[in-house]
Amino acid sequence: MSRPMSMAAEGHGTTELDHAPQYDLALRDEEKQEKQEDRKGSPIYQDTFGDEEYAEVKYKVLSWWQCGFLMVAETVSLGILSLPAVVGVLGLVPAIILLLGLGLLATYTGYTIGQFRWAYPHIQNMADAGEVLFGSFGREFFGTGQLLLVVFIMASHILTFTVAMNTITSHGTCTIVFGVVGVVISFFLALPRTSANVAYLSVASFISVFSAVMIVMIAVGIQRPYKGALEVTVDTSLYEAFLAVCNIVFSFSGHVAFFGFMSELKDPRDYPKSLCLLQGIDTVLYIVTAVVIYVFAGPNVTSPALGSAGPMIAKISYGIALPTIIIGGVVNGHVACKFVYVRLFRNSDRMHSRDLVATGSWVALMLVLWIIAWIIAEAIPVFNDLLSLIASLFASWFTFGFSGMFWLYLNKDQLFASPRKIALTILNALIVGIAACVCGLGLYVSGRSLHDDANGSSFSCANNA
């Protein structure tokens, strides 16, 4: 059926009927553009990976539970066994309050990250978020911090793998050999390009760490190495107390990877379910593990707590924990490689391609990052102290401070619009202040620990168990 000729076709001008829809769309586009210009003149933001209907490699295939277990694998590892010693330093009641309080705060700041990603769907990593807040400087600063932190975490997993193997085998061979074995295993497991293919490993990681922790708790409960009275509070120094607080803060510091995981969800609106799965698991597991082991092992509990259960239990626990030691590093390696890969190929067809350049680039980047992580783990004698320094500098901000800034930025035009907004404004300003305190005092205690530690040897075959 032919459309009636309009006055425009006859050369007599246009009618409202002919161009009203187009005018309406143009007006809507103009309004959208004005809204984006309010956000520091940014362009209209598009989803990170775009339309994947016909893509060879599809990224946005994560279900909420897969995302949740990725977050668990990235956040919860053998560091949980350092928490009983934290209770010994702080006392039972203050430690429980801090674990519960920081767990709830980490849940809130994790949700704020979700709100920021919903508002800016192009965000795939902290560098993208930094660009929204502070332009090109924010992009480079946030991106450098994310990459440094994640690569050092990869290195910590390599180091932990060597400790575990030395414990299990009673130093069966040179520690460097164990490190190389750990790197090779981690490299091959991290090769899948999409997070969904790593998610199933994350379930195995959770089962592994949960089983190892249960074995230690049961063993300590049976042995009952401490039979004295426990104090609910203890006298301690600022230095020791804040080292303990830093351990708790860093045990909740998985937020650096949340943007990346959220960008690969089938439906980003499911992100709160994933966050609740993570925070429910880690908060409960941290509190129960720390309290139970401390109650039975007493104030002199070792860190990690495997030492309190005896050498045989340590070997068994490390053996069962090997999957979580490896997979936790694999998830962080995947996050690091995806950060660089997206930066190289964003808005390029290679992002979704399986051709030689796309696949070869992913493999090469992964190999380079794991080699760098291995060099860091082997070459720096005071690696754990340096990791604490890096974590103090960045993890406090990625977990708490930047999330507070995200909320303040999203609500900058209505910070005092209602009593609820005023309360939330104060809360998020306090969160930024908490991050600054943790960062400042964390740098102090980490720097002091670096200064006090005796020099070790680089690339050593010695037993580090």
Helices (H) and strands (E) in the chain, counts: 15, 0
pLDDT of residue 34: 42
pTM: 0.87
In 3D space, the residue among 117, 152, 161 whose CA is nearest the CA of residue 394 turns out to be 152
Phi, psi angle pair for 13, to nearest 5°: 105, -170
Superfamily of domain 57-380: Hydantoin permease (1.10.4160.10)
Instruction: Return the number of other C-beta atoms located less than 10 Å from residue 380's C-beta.
Output: 17
pLDDT of residue 375: 94
pLDDT exceeds cutoff 80 at 161: yes
Domain spans, the chain = 57-380
- List pLDDT tens digits, range 53-90: 888 899 999 999 999 999 999 999 888 988 999 999 99
Contact by Cβ (8 Å): 112, 400: no
- List pLDDT tens digits, range 108-117: 999 999 999 9
CA distances from 443 to 73, 141, 250, 377, 393 (A): 26, 18, 13, 20, 7
Q: Which residues contact 37 (CB under 8 A, 6 or more apart)?
A: none
Q: What does the DSSP assignment read for 227-282?
A: -SPPPSS----HHHHHHHHHHHHHHT--GGGHHHHHHTBSSGGGHHHHHHHHHHHH
pLDDT of residue 47: 76
Contact by Cβ (8 Å): 258, 109: no
In 3D space, the residue among 121, 69, 4, 134 whose CA is nearest the CA of residue 324 turns out to be 69
Q: Where are the beta strands (DSSP E) in 52-147?
A: none
Phi, psi angle pair for 62, to nearest 5°: -75, 130
Structure tokens at 73: 């694998």
- Give the mean pLDDT of 188-199: 93
- Give the mean pLDDT of 409-431: 95
pLDDT of residue 42: 47
**187-285-75-87 Cα dihedral, nearest 10 degrees:** -110
Mean pLDDT of the chain: 86
Query: Cis ω on the peptide bond leading into residue 299 (within 30° of 0)?
Result: no
Please state, for a pLDDT cut of 70, what percent of the chain lies above it: 89
**C-alpha span between 300 and 294 (Å, rounded):** 9
- List pLDDT tens digits, range 386-414: 777 888 888 899 999 999 999 999 999 99
Through-space distance between the first and last CA atoms of the chain, rounded to whole angstroms: 83
Q: Where are the beta strands (DSSP E) in 237-392?
A: none
Q: Which one has a higher pLDDT value, 382 or 266?
A: 266
In 3D space, the residue among 282, 274, 308, 275 whose CA is nearest the CA of residue 293 turns out to be 308
Per-residue b or e along 51-71, where b marks 16 or more CB atoms closer than 10 Å to that residue's CB: eeeebebebbebbbebbbbbb
**C-alpha span between 448 and 25 (Å, rounded):** 61
pLDDT of residue 306: 82
**C-alpha span between 296 and 219 (Å, rounded):** 10
Q: Which residues contact 220 (CB under 8 A, 6 or more apart)?
A: 292, 293, 296, 297, 305, 308, 309
pLDDT of residue 180: 95
**C-alpha span between 459 and 177 (Å, rounded):** 10
pLDDT exceeds cutoff 80 at 183: yes
Contact by Cβ (8 Å): 324, 253: no
- Give the mean pLDDT of 333-338: 96
- List pLDDT tens digits, range 89-134: 999 999 999 999 999 999 999 999 999 999 999 999 999 999 999 9
Tell me the Ramachandran region of residue 459: left when phi exceeds 0, alpha when psi lies from -120 to 50, beta otherwise: left
pLDDT of residue 69: 96
pLDDT exceeds cutoff 50 at 24: no
